[in-house]
Amino acid sequence: MTTRGLRDLPPQALDGTRALVRVDFNVPLKDGAVTDDTRLRAALPTINYLREKGARVILLSHLGRPKGGPDPTYSLKQIVRDLERLLGAPVEFIPDPTAAAATTRRLPRGGVGLVENTRFWPGEEKNDPELAKTFAALGDFYVNDAFGSAHRAHASTAAVAALLKPAVAGFLMEKELQYLGEALREPRRPFVVVLGGAKISGKIDVIQALLPRVDEILIGGAMACTFFAAMGFGMGTSLVEPDRMPLARSLLSQGSTLILPRGGVIAPSLERGAEAREVPSDQVPEGWAVYDIDTATRHDFAARVARAKTILWNGPMGVFETPPFDAGTRAIAAALVAAGRKGAVTIVGGGDSAAAVAGLEDQLTHVSTGGGASLEFLEGKTLPGVAALEQV
Ligand code: ADP
Ligand code: MG
């Protein structure tokens, strides 16, 4: 079964209609300004396609986690200027979706409206059909392009799709489903997964879902420390999850597909990076912590990535925000780019991982914009926002 997409609707039938489009404009803001417009840009293909076909585009999104009602800190008004710049067109801001249907009808053909933060209305997170009805009145059909929000059954992602038909996937949503879905269903082999990041706990289900399908899982980041602790190695002051050690032990016993780092880059603390040095994984001294994979591991992982035909990467190899502990993550990013150049499919998922490969997007097959959603999808879960769309 595949989700019905925007291109399944006859283009000439879009002229003059109102497209209600759920996007993921949950962008980082600082002092009222957008600091990273990746998510705005990611929605442009869908918005521009609809505009070119003569549709009026009404955008719905959440922003942040406002508690119990309107809060200027989380107003989508703050992104209007950036959106106008990217679209090269004015955006009509709709502060309240209630009784705004007339406003949406007044938009010019190809015009764009942006509804205030969906989470300002209490029904949003309750998947309330009444709020969904309010949203549905703003469009003639529904497009969901918010893959990053698809793991939540909210009024603007799920209930609205039951009321407003056709309900189809936008281009970004389709791309995410295609790449993440194909990687799981029919990966070209060898299929190598690189996993890192802070904790095993958030990624257990992913590891378990992927283990039987992959040829190798390369483990880096603090996650590796819990595996080593489970093997009885002293990990100094490294980030270890003692309560996950039994699980780590059981995963290790499931075969030889888990590849752990040969050694790590250690330091007495993050602030004392100048004292960083490399040690084998079983020789982390008391009072020191592992903050990155060592040079030998970078070479080993790069060689394994080079042999792969499909590579999926989630989670940085070290504390990449704090140099010099970014070197391992950079080395893996370079290895993916090199593998891609030789024809491998390279997919990166996860919020921090996407930040770590910023600037390299053109040299990777796909960088997922959906952090939690991409993880849940890779776990094999059905995403409510996807299930709510029509299937063909
Ligand atoms: P993603 O958002 O891509 O899914 P995570 O959120 O799981 O990734 O993990 C990212 C975080 O993991 C980063 O903030 C990074 O600093 C941290 N991290 C990676 N390696 C280590 C380590 N060895 N020690 C402490 N933190 C680490
Ligand atoms: Mg993260």
Q: Which domains does the chain have, with CATH numbers?
A: 6-173 (3.40.50.1260), 187-378 (3.40.50.1260)
- Position 183 pLDDT exceeds 80: no
The arithmetic mean of pLDDT across residues 72-96, rounded, is 97
| Model pLDDT, residue 371 | 79
Residue 349 Cβ inside 6 Å of ligand 1? The answer reads no
Percent of the chain with pLDDT over 70: 100
Nearest residue to 118 via CA among 140, 138, 141: 138
Output the pLDDT for position 133: 98
Which helix (H) or strand (E) is 250 found in, with range?
helix 245-252
Asked whether residue 102 carries a pLDDT value surpassing 90, the answer given is: yes
263 carries an active-site annotation:
no
Q: How many residues does the chain have?
A: 392
Q: Is pLDDT larger for residue 283 or for residue 178?
A: 283
Question: 314 CB under 6 A from ligand 1?
Answer: yes
Of 126, 199, 213, 309, the catalytic one is 199
Residue 117 CA to residue 202 CA, distance in Å, equals 28
Is 268 a pocket residue for ligand 1 (Cβ < 6 Å)?
A: no
Comparing CA positions, the residue from 193, 146, 135, 233 lying closest to residue 314 is 193
- Token pair for 155: 């009024």
How many angstroms separate the CA atoms of 272 and 27, rounded?
Answer: 32
Give the nearest ligand 1 atom to 316 CA: 19
User: Residue 1: what pLDDT?
Assistant: 67
Beta bridge partners, 91, equal 112
Distance CA 51, CA 210 (A): 40
**Tens digits of residue pLDDT in 377-392:** 888 889 999 999 999 8
Considering the chain, what is the average pLDDT of its residues?
95
Contact 374, 178 (CB under 8 A): no
Please indicate whether residue 381 is annotated as part of the active site.
no
Helices 171-185 & 371-378 angle (0-180, nearest 10): 30
Measured CA to CA, the distance from residue 296 to residue 290 in angstroms comes to 15
Mean pLDDT, range 274-282, rounded to an integer:
98
